[in-house]
Chain A
Amino acid sequence: MAISLTHLDWAIILLYLAAMLGVGFFFRKKQNTFEDYFLASKGLTLPLLIGTLVSTFYGLDTLFGTSEIGFFEGVTGFFAYALPYSGLYLLMAFLAPRFRELEGNTFIDLIGERYGKFAQAISACSSFFYSINTMEMMGIGFIFTLIFKIPFWAGVLIAAVIVVAYTYSGGLWAVAVTDMIQFTIMALSLGLTLLFCWRDLGGYSGIYAGLGAYLGSDPWYYFSPSGGYLTSGVIAAYALTSLAVLCEPAFMQRIYASRSPREARRALLISTPIWTAYEFACCMLGLAAVAAVGLGVIGEPHANQALLALAVRYLPPGLIGLFLAGVLAAAMSTADSYFLVSSGNLVYDLYRPLCKPDLSPQKLMTYTKRAVLLSAAVSVALAFYFERIMGAWVFQASILINTVLIPLYAAVFLKKLPQSKLGGSLAAATGFFGTICYYLLITTAGYFSEEWGTMVLRLNLCGRTVELWQEYGIFLIPPFVLLAFLVGVLCGNKREPEEAL
């Protein structure tokens, strides 16, 4: 897809990139300790918190992924895939203050304090796997390739250098300050594209006619919340994947970095409608792109470039530059946060408790900075290695939820339950190793189904054929984790609740 840019567009994109580097340079000597660097001295206030929460959690997967589902399946992309997340964000607004009230700097800290070093190390590893940034690095590389007409590998490398430069120098302060700029650009550019496009295509009636012209039949299912084919069981299954919100490492980092528990709750309450509007806009733009093709307004784009095609068609010069800067912002704001989170996993959650419990706050910060470089190197390397990135993402989400969710919430919210180190350790180990074994089994003994677009293992059980998808790990493993936790609680040496936290 070719994009022609005016001088104004170029100026906006280059100004944006320069601003990111400038912020990193400004913050390079503002931190003295790990808490300053990793948690912005626990001083993030409302606007900074909202900006960094919204922009971090919505990256290219939302921008291009949700619009792609809207392109193929219509509003079900919002109702079945996105709306459950909104419900979880709202729930998290009421749970977050409890995490912020507790001692510690990360949620892995809580697991370590309650269940010991083994559970802590496994949880840190799962959080590190989750936070590897491969998808965003591939996305940024693609966007750089599109804008600057350079090879993919050069795009990935240049993008990584810019993101690492300001994250390494400035830590969470630089990330939060740049995230707010990124949030503003990405939300504004998306809102304007939606407004212009929907109005120019003639609103609902014009778009319905365009969809009909494209399909050659009644496009009713494009406006059906179930897409005309999803059962309530399938919708419930998709909804379960949104549980990642409850133990999302970047989310948790921002809750710990908020100035107070009240500030964390208010930020999440205000962010929820913005997230919901963002998902809705992406989905409706995907659907509108199909109508635009049907009406002959644009040529048929690749589904995941539908949103770009509409922006280029409808936005005036200057605003196209703003939109492309918004796309870069969506990717960079997510990438910077996960570089930081994964470096904290390696140093604060893994290296410190296992090897150097007496590490000074200054040394912790220095090592965390170095780990940002390591995390970036791993992400870039994997961006060149992986071809089917969604498969990696499903694994990353599953391993985090299966390992962390049950022990963490039992530790924080089931205060009356007598718990043992054995219970937490068994649960974390079952989730972690169970997920790895399940995915190894599916990827080695299964096959890639072109029909469903995922890895499937076909089993013959008592004469009946059963299909296991790689996505099922998120449903099949948690019951075993819960069982392991309960067995550990019953068999292990119990600690009194008040002794534990």
Chain B
Amino acid sequence: MNGWDLGVYLAAAVLIIAPTGLFFSYVREIARRLREDDWH
């Protein structure tokens, strides 16, 4: 495994982990806004 392999796996990790994490905080926020009907 060399630097290019590491770069590729790092990029793949960012693209898999970042949206997953952000999606959970997005769902939490949307749930709160739906509960409070807060779209302003």
Interface residues of A (CB under 8 A from B): 27, 30-31, 36, 40-41, 43, 45-48, 50-51, 173, 177, 180, 183-184, 187-188, 190-192, 194-195, 198, 203-204, 223, 270, 273-274, 276-278, 280-281, 284
Contacts and interface: CB of A to CB of B under 8 A. Distances in A.
Contacts of B7: 280
Interface residues of B, number: 25
- The 10 nearest A-B residue pairs measured at CB: A191-B15, A277-B14, A47-B26, A277-B11, A191-B16, A187-B19, A195-B12, A184-B19, A41-B40, A280-B11
29 contacts: A27-B39, A36-B40, A40-B39, A43-B40, A46-B25, A47-B22, A47-B29, A48-B26, A180-B22, A180-B26, A183-B19, A184-B19, A184-B20, A184-B26, A187-B18, A187-B19, A191-B14, A191-B16, A192-B12, A204-B1, A204-B2, A204-B4, A270-B18, A273-B14, A277-B11, A277-B15, A280-B8, A281-B11, A284-B8
Nearest to A273: B14
- Most chain A CB within 10 A, of B4, B5, B10, B11, is at B11
Given A30-B39, A203-B5, A191 B25 contact: no
Interface of B: 1-2, 4-5, 7-16, 18-20, 22-23, 25-26, 29-30, 39-40
A27 B15 CA distance: 29
- Most chain A CB within 10 A, of B7, B22, B23, B25, is at B22
Given A191-B15, A204-B1, A223-B4, 8 more contacts: A40-B39, A47-B29, A177-B30, A187-B15, A191-B13, A191-B16, A194-B12, A281-B15
B22 A50 contact: yes
A274 B39 CA distance: 27
A43 B25 CA distance: 16
Contacts of A273: 14, 18
A277 B12 CA distance: 7
A274 B4 CA distance: 18
A202 B29 CA distance: 41
Nearest to A170: B39
Nearest to A173: B39
B27 to A, nearest CB: 9
A180 B23 contact: yes
B19 A45 contact: no
Contacts of A173: 39
Contacts of A281: 8, 11-12, 15
Nearest to A283: B11
Nearest to B18: A274
Contacts of B22: 47, 50-51, 180, 183-184
Contact of B15 (A36, A43, A51, A188): A188
A50 B39 CA distance: 18
A173 B29 CA distance: 13
Nearest to B10: A277
Contacts of A280: 7-8, 11
Given A277-B14, A284-B11, A41 B19 contact: no
Contacts of A276: 11
- Most chain B CB within 10 A, of A30, A198, A270, is at A198
B30 to A, nearest CB: 7
Given A41-B39, A180-B26, A198 B5 contact: yes
